[in-house]
Chains A and B, each alone.
Chain A
């Protein structure tokens, strides 16, 4: 709306991001589009609250896909309620989000998911990551594609177990609007450990920047 208080520069400054990040989130559907485009574009208090919540969830290392899922289910009032005065937030976990969280923990530490596809289908959200990647990007193996079994060097699998084809997914970590890291999960334990280290270091590197 024209009455909305913030220019993109105001909004970015208040949330501690660059204007470019704001545009990026809008393009990715994490923030609603402002009412009018162009240099006179104004953003609302709802945008600011949402933006702060996104930053908070990013600090918790949630992938953008999950952040988008969470925000999608929240109204402006709820978002404002979650971004407390102290900047502390607590997002109520929907059941599907809890499942996604547990499965993310399992994937990160090489524990194989045992919840059948039927369960996942019943969940309102796609429980595994739906990375926000361009259409042309090969997000996951097609059902018939050959699948490489995970190496059996890890101590908890006595035998290499070929993973069902639909279990391999790309996970995207946005380090800043211009830099991304793509990881195909699940990974074997050694690689997983290294990747975790890589993400940690990369986050520190880019978080310092702001």
Chain B
């Protein structure tokens, strides 16, 4: 995975489309960019080995995990996931309640070790409270103890409850996840049932460079865990970054939930790890100051990753320049719009509003939740024109309004939040990365 010279990488892609190409000469303008990044595909070659992975499975064994055989299913899922590993990989299993147990210390995934996993997990049962922080850090330590600099080092943190022992502050846990990511350990999270906090788990996964999975139905536990493990095995490019060179007076922010770093006229959008052939859509908001009519202004964009996979692919991805031209109000108001970009932007605003409405709903602020959806609906309707897709986005917001404006069952809240989360991150409704067809 990390040595591009030994693999054949083909067909990466980068496209950038602006919603409009004229900007206002006598007022500030706001424009959107739809960026699509396609990770290179690894050409099949059985003689090449993928890079090793180093995974810690961190399982919640608090009392509630005994219900619906949640812990039993989680153990089964781990056993199955471990069987997908190969002798170069490493894994460990940590269980946490108020106590922390390293059930299987970081070990090489040799066939014998893989077979013994089920036996070693047999004695694990549910009890106690939830020291999520301690369990997570203990998993991080296992991964760190056998860190594979060229591979994927990831903690898979599973919980069905609220962190109530150890560090429980959300901001602090997210900050820690970010510092660990900078040091090579990524974190993915799995929330089971309806009693966990999705904003914490999504936040830890975002800062931690991993993924968050909502397991609403315990029967899906296996699918989600094995799919995340499968994804770590397919990563072709780690720490993918979209770099934008900005002229003076031009600012960029991401509407999609990716971290943007600004530095001396360059904005770097951190897209995380990408698997072979993965497609990622990112929407950026660009704001412009005034300028003389007729003047052109451009943003240069390129894509890079820690493993140099994009650079080593054939054909290589060329840098792209997007240009806008200053024009008077009349020309601005009558310019054509790229409807594909409008649709994605509208959908993004709708999904963000749904997530916010879920939080308001949970706080009992039903009226505000309803008004929030109304606001976005009106904005979308104002530029929908005769476009059926945009009209549909507005109609859905109108139809869903009543359910957000009255107490929602917790499952519905979590489902709505997660559906929005996965869309915003270009993932399928069940949390998997989307690939080029």
A: which residues have CB within 8 A of B? 84-86, 88, 90, 93-95, 97-99, 101-103, 105-106, 109-116, 119, 155-158
Contacts and interface: CB of A to CB of B under 8 A. Distances in A.
5 contacts: A93-B182, A95-B144, A103-B141, A115-B105, A115-B142
B144 A155 contact: no
A93 B184 contact: yes
A97 B102 CA distance: 21
A111 B165 CA distance: 11
Contacts of B99: 156-158
Contacts of B140: 102, 105
Nearest to B147: A95
B18 interface: no
A102 B137 contact: yes
A116 B129 CA distance: 26
A4 B166 CA distance: 51
A98 B141 CA distance: 9
Contact of B184 (A84, A88, A98): A98
A105 B165 contact: no
A95 B106 CA distance: 14
Most chain A beta-carbon neighbours within 10 Å: one of B106, B133, B137, B264: B137
B284 interface: no
Q: Chain B's interface: helix, strand, loop or mixed, by majority?
A: mixed
Contacts of B134: 109, 111, 156
Contact of B100 (A103, A115, A156): A156
Nearest to A90: B182
A139 to B, nearest CB: 23
Contact of A114 (B102, B131, B180): B102
A102 B141 contact: yes
Q: Chain A's interface: helix, strand, loop or mixed, by majority?
A: loop
B166 A102 contact: no
A115 B182 contact: no
A113 B264 contact: no
A143 to B, nearest CB: 22
A99 B145 contact: yes
Interface in B176-192: 176, 179-180, 182-185
Contact of A156 (B98, B147, B176): B98
A93 B183 contact: yes
Most chain B beta-carbon neighbours within 10 Å: one of A109, A112, A156, A158: A156
A114 B166 contact: no
A116 B105 contact: yes
B116 interface: no
B281 interface: no
B183 A111 contact: no
Interface string B124-158: 00000101011001101110111101000000000
Contacts of B264: 85-86
A115 B183 contact: no
Most chain B beta-carbon neighbours within 10 Å: one of A84, A85, A109: A109
Given A111-B166, A158-B99, A102 B263 contact: no
Contact of B137 (A86, A111, A116): A111
B98 A115 contact: no
Contact of B144 (A86, A98, A109, A158): A98
A113 B165 contact: no
A95 B137 contact: no
B144 A114 contact: no
A122 B205 CA distance: 30
B152 to A, nearest CB: 14
A146 B208 CA distance: 40
A106 to B, nearest CB: 5
A99 B183 CA distance: 9
A159 B179 CA distance: 32
Interface in B159-180: 165-167, 176, 179-180
B420 to A, nearest CB: 31
A119 B98 contact: no
A109 B166 contact: yes
A114 B149 contact: no
A11 B429 CA distance: 57
A206 to B, nearest CB: 23
Nearest to A108: B167
Contacts of A156: 98-100, 131, 134, 165-166
A109 B133 contact: yes
Nearest first, the 8 closest Cβ-Cβ pairs linking A and B are A95-B147, A93-B183, A99-B144, A98-B183, A115-B145, A111-B134, A119-B145, A114-B102
A102 B180 contact: yes
A115 B106 CA distance: 9
A113 to B, nearest CB: 6
Contacts of B144: 95, 98-99, 101-103, 115
Interface string B244-265: 0000000000000000000110
Interface string B104-133: 011000000000000000000000010101
